[in-house]
Amino acid sequence: MTDDAIRIESLRKTYKGSKGQPEKHALKGIDLTVPRGSVFGLLGPNGAGKSTLINILAGLVVKTSGKVTIWGFDQDENPRQSRASIGVMPQELNLDPFFTPRGALEVQAGLYGVPKSERYSDEILAMIGLKDKAEAYARTLSGGMRRRLLLGKALVHRPNILVLDEPTAGVDIELRQMLWDNVRKLNLQGMTIILTTHYLEEAEEMCDEIAIINQGEVVARDSTSNLLGRLDARAMVVHPASAVTDLPQGAGIEAELRGDGAVVLRYHSQQTSAEEVLAAVRAAGITIRDVKTEEADLEDVFLALTKST
Ligand code: ADP
Ligand code: MG
């Protein structure tokens, strides 16, 4: 037995090229473990291979080679048990338009062989806020409602692991909040959560651990706090009370005057403190009307990580 919720070894996926297209190496030998009970973030830009990885876990895409163990069950040797251990909320909205939310949950439960007495559709409908839409046809549901239904479908067999593929891409703040509330609740109940996102901020807020994947390879894997500590590029934007004549100067500080009159100061938080940057601003005779700092975004993260290796 292992304490890992998921163990992935030397996982490769090559999509065959169709109609004269070259083949695509979507996953180039991924090694990854996800501890039980964690909220694990799979972070990477579009095309990195996140959905391919998730869909292999879900049994929707057939791997080219490698070994996948889900909740201690080898995916090839124990396909049934490994599939029963995981629920996936896919990125695509693939709902049958002729099912009602309740119908969709019941059919899904049937697919997983959940006996009628063990189904809990009402509870799921309440949790995803679709109780009063239980009998409406899926085609009459809004995009947000459909997403919530996809989450519900992932839960019918009470999986140990819940995987969400870009659950918040293009959704409004309210739905995002609801999704995260649900995810936190499920995690507190002991469910292991894996989510993919291309928002660093989201991974930072939600995840205990993060793997960053780029072009089919894991480029970093660490606790969220360690990872962000390694990414210490900061930008402070100072809006001056009056026009700036002299730019601030100081060791480790790069100052630049922006078109709108604001001064942008770039520094590394491990070498230079925000206090030192502010002192340099005051020393240049600038009165601060407003100030804010920005952290590294995902692009900076990739640059930083690929430079250091
Ligand atoms: P992500 O989810 O991180 O955006 P994907 O796993 O969807 O990345 O895609 C990884 C790469 O594999 C991309 O270059 C994509 O175009 C390619 N790809 C994904 N699905 C297929 C497919 N069915 N056939 C061919 N290429 C694919
Ligand atoms: Mg994707």
For 105-136, how does the pLDDT look when each residue is reduced to its tens digit (9 = 90+)?
999 999 999 999 999 999 999 999 999 999 99
Ligand 2 centroid, distance to 148 Cα (angstroms): 18
How far is Cα 284 from Cα 292, in angstroms, rounded to an integer? Answer: 18
Residue 94 — very low, low, confident or very high, per pLDDT cuts 50/70/90?
confident
Atom 5 of ligand 1 has which residue's CA nearest to it? 49
* Ligand 1: lining residues by beta carbon, under 6 Å: 15, 24, 26, 44, 46-52
Question: 281: domain CATH number?
Answer: 3.30.70
Cα 183 to Cα 38, 45, 131, 153: the distances in Å are 11, 22, 19, 14
How far is Cα 118 from Cα 139, in angstroms, rounded to an integer? Answer: 28
Ligand 1 centroid, distance to 202 Cα (angstroms): 22
How far is Cα 138 from Cα 258, in angstroms, rounded to an integer? Answer: 49
Look up residue 67 and give its two tokens: 């070994």
* Whether residue 276 sits in one domain with residue 253: yes
Ligand 1 centroid, distance to 10 Cα (angstroms): 18
* Whether residue 21 sits in one domain with residue 163: yes
Best probe residue, ligand 1, of 25, 51, 52 (max atoms within 8 Å of C-beta): 52
Q: Which of 177, 197, 227 is the last residue of a domain?
A: 227
Residue 200 has pLDDT above 70, yes or no: yes
Residue 238 has pLDDT above 60, yes or no: yes
Residue ranges making up the domain that contains 97: 93-157
The 10s digit of each residue's pLDDT in 172-184 is 888 899 999 999 9
Look up residue 301 and give its two tokens: 């993260």
Residue 151 belongs to a domain: yes
The 10s digit of each residue's pLDDT in 3-40 is 899 999 999 999 998 888 899 999 999 999 999 999 99
Measured from the Cα of 198, ligand 1's closest atom is 3
Question: 198: domain CATH number?
Answer: 3.40.50.300
Residue 274 belongs to a domain: yes
* Whether residue 259 sits in one domain with residue 121: no
Atom 21 of ligand 1 has which residue's CA nearest to it? 15
- Helices 143-154 and 173-188 sit at what angle, rounded to 10 degrees? 10
Measured from the Cα of 165, ligand 1's closest atom is 2
Residue 172 belongs to a domain: no
Ligand 2 centroid, distance to 58 Cα (angstroms): 14
Residue 180 belongs to a domain: no
Residue 173 belongs to a domain: no
Residue 296 has pLDDT above 80, yes or no: no
Ligand 1 centroid, distance to 294 Cα (angstroms): 31
pLDDT at 64: 97
* Whether residue 101 sits in one domain with residue 245: no
* Whether residue 136 sits in one domain with residue 275: no
Residue 179 belongs to a domain: no
Choose between 194 and 96: higher pLDDT: 194
Residue 91 — very low, low, confident or very high, per pLDDT cuts 50/70/90?
confident
Atom 12 of ligand 1 has which residue's CA nearest to it? 26
Residue 230 has pLDDT above 80, yes or no: no
Over range 221-248, report the average pLDDT: 86
pLDDT at 277: 94
Residue 194 belongs to a domain: yes
Percent of the chain with pLDDT over 70: 94
pLDDT at 294: 76
* Whether residue 249 sits in one domain with residue 218: no
How far is Cα 223 from Cα 164, in angstroms, rounded to an integer? Answer: 19
Residue 309 has pLDDT above 60, yes or no: no
* Whether residue 163 sits in one domain with residue 74: yes
What is the Cα gyration radius of the chain? 23
Contact between 210 and 218 (Cβ < 8 Å): no
Over range 155-169, report the average pLDDT: 94
Residue 140 belongs to a domain: yes
Contact between 294 and 235 (Cβ < 8 Å): yes
* Whether residue 152 sits in one domain with residue 300: no
* Whether residue 104 sits in one domain with residue 80: no
* Whether residue 128 sits in one domain with residue 114: yes
* Whether residue 10 sits in one domain with residue 79: yes
Atom 23 of ligand 1 has which residue's CA nearest to it? 15
Choose between 167 and 120: higher pLDDT: 120
Over range 235-239, report the average pLDDT: 93
* Whether residue 152 sits in one domain with residue 97: yes
pLDDT at 282: 94
Choose between 188 and 167: higher pLDDT: 188
Q: Into how many domains does the chain fold?
A: 3
Over range 69-82, report the average pLDDT: 96
SS3 annotation, the chain? CCCEEEEEEEEEEEECCCCCCCCEEEEEEEEEEEECCCEEEEECCCCCCHHHHHHHHHCCCCCCEEEEEECCEECCCCHHHHHHCEEEECCCCCCCCCCCHHHHHHHHHHHCCCCHHHCCHHHHHHHCCCHHHCCCCHHHCCHHHHHHHHHHHHCCCCCCEEEEECCCCCCCHHHHHHHHHHHHHHHHCCCEEEEEECCHHHHHHHCCEEEEEECCEEEEEEEHHHHHHHCCEEEEEEEECCCCCCCCCCCCCEEEECCCCCEEEEEECCCCCHHHHHHHHHHCCCCEEEEEEEECCHHHHHHHHHHHC
Residue 152 — very low, low, confident or very high, per pLDDT cuts 50/70/90?
very high
